[in-house]
């Protein structure tokens, strides 16, 4: 088996794992965006899980070859990872600025 075939199998496996993980993020993201929380601990727990899952996705994009493969083979998943990361960073910035006041 050549290096290219090994890389392709590796990327397909990474993609499969990442796609499954990101499917689990979407309901949680919707809940964090729209649910009414009566207990702040529930929100913090959900946000922590969302953050950890998104970080996992972001780490995979640091592999330049996988990132290039994903741009071609599943640009929607890649964009979801990037967009979710941007949203999380915006929210964290808001919280950090609010906490300083």
Q: Where are the domains of the chain?
A: 3-100
Of the candidates 80, 83, 17, 88, the one whose C-alpha atom is nearest the C-alpha of residue 47 is: 88
pLDDT value at residue 1:
59
Of the candidates 47, 63, 50, 60, the one whose C-alpha atom is nearest the C-alpha of residue 24 is: 50
Cα distances (Å, whole numbers) of residue 43 to 21, 58, 63, 64, 76: 20, 22, 31, 34, 27
pLDDT value at residue 48:
86
pLDDT value at residue 16:
95
* Structure tokens given for 93: 């910035």
pLDDT value at residue 65:
93
Q: What is the pLDDT along the chain (101 residues), one digit of tens a residue?
A: 566 777 889 999 999 999 998 888 888 888 888 878 888 888 888 888 888 888 988 999 999 999 999 999 999 999 999 998 998 889 888 888 888 87
């Amino acid at each position: 088996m050549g290096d290219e075939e090994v890389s392709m199998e590796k990327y397909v496996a990474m993609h499969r794992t990442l796609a499954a993980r990101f499917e689990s993020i979407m309901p949680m993201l919707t809940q964090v965006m729209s649910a009414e929380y009566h207990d702040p601990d529930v929100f913090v727990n959900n946000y922590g899980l969302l953050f950890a899952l998104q970080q996992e996705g972001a780490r995979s994009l640091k592999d330049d070859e996988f990132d290039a493969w994903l741009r071609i083979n599943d640009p929607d998943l890649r964009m979801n990872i990037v967009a979710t990361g941007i949203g999380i960073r915006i929210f964290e910035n808001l919280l950090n600025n609010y906490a300083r006041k």
